[in-house]
Amino acid sequence: MADFFQTLIATIAVGSLYALVALGYTLVYGILKFINFAHSDIFVLGAWTTFAGSTVFLTKFGYEPEQSPWWLGVCVLLLAIFVCGLTGYLIERFAYRPLRKAPRLNVLITAIGVSLLLQNVGQLPGLALVRGPERVVTKPADQLTDREKSTNPEIAGDTATIREPGEALATLPFGSSPKRAPTILPDAVLNETVVASGTSKGGAKRGVIVLDQAIELVPDRGYRLEIARTIDGQPRRESLNLAVEPGKYEAGVELATQPRRNPADLDGARYTLVRDPLVPIRLLDVLIVASSLVLMAGLQVLVFRTKLGSAMRAVSFNVDTASLMGINVNFVISFTFVLGTALAAAAAFLYAMKYPSLQQPASGVWVLLGLKAFVAAVVGGIGNVRGAVLGGFLIAGIEFFGARYISTELRDVYVFGLLIVVLLVRPNGLLGSAVREKV
């Protein structure tokens, strides 16, 4: 049962991200009746902008990722939304608008071309936005190479000091190497249990700790010690795993730990013994789901409760008629593109926080992720806002539950198999409606 609920939590969290990306597909299709295949690359742009922005801010302000303030995450999110929104507007204005009256095949080919352009530009080597500490190399002056001599080294006697720029931590474009995005959102297990706390002592040998109170360790649960101590006047916290069998232990009994620490490091340190829950609920997953639900609810209100939403639905119904009724069609279409790309940017920011290991911009991993979001939009009913949300959760559900209970290797087969079944049974999607065209 614990596995079921753990899989369900992962489904809800990842399904929220799929739904946000699928909304971008469905918004553009609802207005212009074509698939913006460059949308998945906007998502990639948002993820890498999150990496670059968070790296720059952390370096400039001198924060460690786990100590970053809440406003830094908000700034990075707004930066990703701005970059992706601007890119979406430029794509619509200069790539799609000139082809608005052209055959759909022309627009489809253009969308694929824009997608390839974003992929290949994104992996070009770029200019450094921020660098690590300067590297200082000292060597005999008579051993300098021609390249080192060109850097104007400082020579004192027979010794030359070479100062080289630090490693480029973030570049624009992003380059062709995978990176790890700093996790600037807070994360913790919300439902873990504190079993005991007090002051520890070092044991008789390395890797042993002595607690000042009796404890009981139950089977099939993980335990860890949160150690707080002071080193050179600076507070320091670290986690140690208990490497002992379940059972009751009296105060003063030596307990083995991993990793092993010297007795002097543990003597007099404050400890907290924490028991892991059967089904951990992480703060980051809660933030992802809550943020996604707020954005999806806001989109629902915008589309169905505002004048701008009425204009969007009117343009979706008939562009020419909407224009005759005084609606600024160009503005509505551009706004729809910006809105869809902003949702993709928000999803990319949250994705980079949950899965910080980012593949290079042209990696097939991104293509597959974009295809799954597109499948979510089609399964729910392309052009239907509620359908995109439903499709996102369905795709995540069949992917994670299939991988957990059937086979991990076939997780992508489940997704595209569901697409085939839905298209055979309901060609317009689960919540889509048939559209009659006059010929």
Q: pLDDT (tens digit, 9 = 90+) per residue, 187-239?
A: 888 999 999 999 998 888 888 999 999 999 998 888 889 998 877 777 888 88
C-alpha 186/C-alpha 411 separation (Å) is 30
| Tens digit of each residue's pLDDT (9 = 90 or more) over 19-77 | 999 999 999 998 888 889 999 999 999 999 999 999 999 999 988 888 889 999 999 99
What whole-number distance in Å separates Cα of residue 428 and Cα of residue 415?
17
Nearest alpha carbon to residue 372 among 4, 9, 25:
25
Residue 334's domain is classified under what CATH number? 1.10.3470
Question: Which tokens hold the place of 282?
Answer: 């992480």
Mean confidence (pLDDT) of the chain:
90
The DSSP bridge partners found for residue 159 are 140, 156
Does any domain span residue 174? Answer: no
pLDDT digits (tens, 9 = 90+) for 108-131: 999 999 999 999 999 998 899 998
Q: Give the position of tokens 């140690």.
A: 240
What distance in Å separates the CA atoms of residue 344 and residue 43, rounded to the nearest whole number?
5
How would you write 267-299 as a 3-class SS string? CCCEEEEEECCCCCCEHHHHHHHHHHHHHHHHH
Higher per-residue confidence, 107 vs 438: 107
pLDDT-derived band at 87, boundaries 50, 70, 90: very high
**CA dist., res. 111 & res. 24, Å (int):** 14
Q: Same structural domain for residues 218 and 322? A: no
Which of 153 and 339 is assigned the larger pLDDT? 339
At residue 438 the predicted structure's pLDDT band, cuts being 50, 70 and 90, is very low
User: Given this model, what pLDDT does residue 434 score?
Assistant: 62
Give domain status of residue 57, yes or no: yes
Phi and psi, residue 237, nearest 5°:
-125, 140
Q: What is the predicted pLDDT for the residue at 435? A: 58
The secondary structure of residue 189, as a DSSP letter, is B
Q: Is 228 helix (H, G, I), strand (E, B) or coil?
A: strand
Residue 153 has pLDDT above 90, yes or no: no
Residue 318 falls inside a structural domain:
yes
Q: What is the mean pLDDT of residues 335-353?
A: 96
Q: Can you tell me the mean pLDDT for 412-422?
A: 94
Contact 34, 28 (CB under 8 A): yes
Judge if 224 and 162 occupy the same domain: no
User: 336-363 in b/e burial notation, b at 16+ Cβ within 10 A?
Assistant: bbbbbbbbbbbbbbbbbbbebebbbbbb
Residue 320 to residue 328: CA distance in whole angstroms: 11
Alpha helices (H) along 62-203: 70-91, 104-122, 146-149
> What is the span of the domain harbouring residue 153?
133-166
Instruction: Return the percentage of the chain with pLDDT > 70, whole number.
Output: 99
pLDDT of residue 437: 52
pLDDT at 148: 72
Within this chain, do residues 208 and 160 fall inside the same structural domain, yes or no?
A: no
Amino acid symbol at 31: I
Residue with tokens 């971008």: 24
197 plus 115 within the same structural domain: no
Which is more confidently placed, 346 or 161? 346
Tell me the average pLDDT across 161-183.
89
User: Is residue 439's pLDDT more than 60?
Assistant: no
Are 307 and 421 in the same domain? Answer: yes
177 occurs within a structural domain: no
Query: For 134-158, b where at least 16 C-beta lie within 10 A, e where not — what string?
Result: eeeeeeeeeebeeebeeeebeeeee
Domain end among 275, 307, 334: 275
Q: Looking at the 3D structure of the chain, how many domains does it have?
A: 3
Tokens matching residue 166: 């630090």
Whether residues 216 and 232 share a domain: the answer is yes
Nearest 5°: CA angle at 89, between 183 and 362?
50
- Same domain flag for 310 and 369: yes
- Does residue 413 form part of some domain? yes
Residue 33: per-residue pLDDT: 85
Task: Give the mean model confidence (pLDDT) for residues 310-332.
Answer: 93
Which residues, 6+ apart, have CB-to-CB distance to 365 below 8 Å?
359
